[in-house]
């Protein structure tokens, strides 16, 4: 039975990238919303 | 609270990796490639949870017309697509060295692909409708109808002759697996559930802020 570590690393690597990308996407949206809120508060 | 949940989820993932790579033994027949199961199985169980919450959110919205239910459904739908995508990709990577192919039109694989497409459609529908009430109403109906796919995916290996093996974790019989492998699966399932709860909490908070602005 070959070790197949390449397949294992590929699967976990893709999962890590997907989770980090989603986390960053949420963080960016939260920051953008906070900035819009602050701008709205300043304008009011 | 959400930040603390994020740290707990990160610790859970670290524990999951330790259990999957350091504690669980090399599987006797498949070898190391079986370790992909510590990612694949928790991902699909988390996707079931997510789509179950889409169903709950849809029913809750139609019954009460409260937007909180719609926020729950929207956030869970997004995460369900993420975890189903990971299920398909990790399963495909596992399939190449084990079955000799990246993809086959097996009942479990096909029904999972259909599940993925239905909820991608659910997210697209949400983007197409601007009126919040109409969006929540139509999305609730699609989310409820789409949930029919969950038992089809899960029981597809029983209902049709499939290449994919029957359920090990949520099967009717006691799981015929080594206790160390079972523990590694459990730790990773817990870690994925915590990560899901963290992402869900953050996504729902963002949706709430978007409604306020």
Q: What's the average model confidence in pLDDT over B4-12?
A: 96
Contact, B71 vs B210, CB < 8 A?
no
Q: What's the average model confidence in pLDDT over B97-105?
A: 93
Question: CA dist B46 to B27, B142, B156, Å?
Answer: 24, 20, 18
Contact, B23 vs B184, CB < 8 A?
yes
- Secondary structure of residue B150 in the 3-state scheme: helix
Q: Looking at per-residue confidence, does A4 or B59 come out higher? A: B59
Using CB atoms within 10 Å of the CB of residue B162, give its burial: 0 to 12 exposed, 13 to 18 middle, 19+ buried: middle
Q: What's the pLDDT score for residue B84?
A: 98
The verdict on A25 touching B (C-beta cutoff 8 Å) is no
Q: What is the ipTM of this complex?
A: 0.91
Q: What's the average model confidence in pLDDT over B86-93?
A: 97
Paired residues of B31 in beta bridges:
B27
- HSE-CB of A26 using CA atoms within 13 angstroms: 21
> What tokens appear for B102 in the block?
């990246």
Query: B135 pLDDT band (50/70/90 cuts)?
Result: very high
Strand ranges (DSSP E) for B137-185?
none
The pLDDT tens digits of the residues spanning B140-188 come to 999 999 999 999 998 888 888 777 777 776 666 666 788 999 999 999 9
Q: Angle CA(A32)–CA(B57)–CA(B167) in degrees, nearest 5? A: 105
Contact B97 A2 (CB under 8 A): yes
> What tokens appear for A27 in the block?
């963080």
Question: CA dist B152 to B21, B72, B81, B118, B186, Å?
Answer: 32, 23, 17, 13, 24
pTM of the prediction?
0.93
Of A10, A23, A29, the CB nearest to B206: A29
B31 chain-A contacts, CB cut-off 8 A: 1-4
The pLDDT tens digits of the residues spanning A2-44 come to 678 999 999 999 999 999 999 999 999 999 998 988 888 888 7
């Amino acid at each position: 039975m070959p070790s197949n570590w390449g397949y294992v690393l590929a699967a976990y690597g893709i999962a890590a990238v997907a989770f980090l990308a989603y986390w960053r996407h949420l963080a960016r949206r939260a920051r953008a919303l906070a900035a819009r809120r602050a701008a709205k508060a300043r304008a009011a | 609270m959400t930040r603390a949940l994020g740290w707990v989820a990160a610790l859970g993932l670290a524990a999951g990796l330790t259990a999957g790579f350091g504690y669980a033994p090399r599987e006797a027949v498949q070898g190391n490639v079986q370790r992909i199961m510590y990612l694949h199985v928790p991902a699909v169980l988390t996707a079931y949870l997510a789509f179950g919450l889409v169903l709950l959110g849809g029913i809750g919205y139609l019954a009460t017309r409260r937007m909180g239910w719609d926020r729950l459904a929207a956030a869970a739908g997004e995460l369900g697509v993420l975890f189903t995508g990971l299920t398909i990709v990790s399963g495909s990577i596992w399939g190449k060295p084990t079955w000799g192919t990246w993809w086959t039109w097996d009942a479990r694989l096909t029904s999972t692909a259909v599940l993925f497409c239905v909820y991608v459609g659910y997210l697209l529908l949400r983007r197409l409708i601007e009126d919040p009430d109409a969006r929540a109403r139509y999305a609730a109906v699609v989310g409820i109808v789409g949930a029919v796919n969950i038992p089809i995916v899960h029981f597809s290996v029983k209902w049709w002759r499939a290449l994919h093996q029957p359920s090990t974790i949520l099967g009717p019989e006691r799981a015929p697996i080594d206790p160390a492998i079972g523990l590694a699966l459990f730790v990773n399932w817990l870690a994925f559930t915590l990560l899901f709860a963290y992402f869900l909490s953050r996504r729902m908070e963002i949706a709430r802020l978007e409604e306020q602005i």
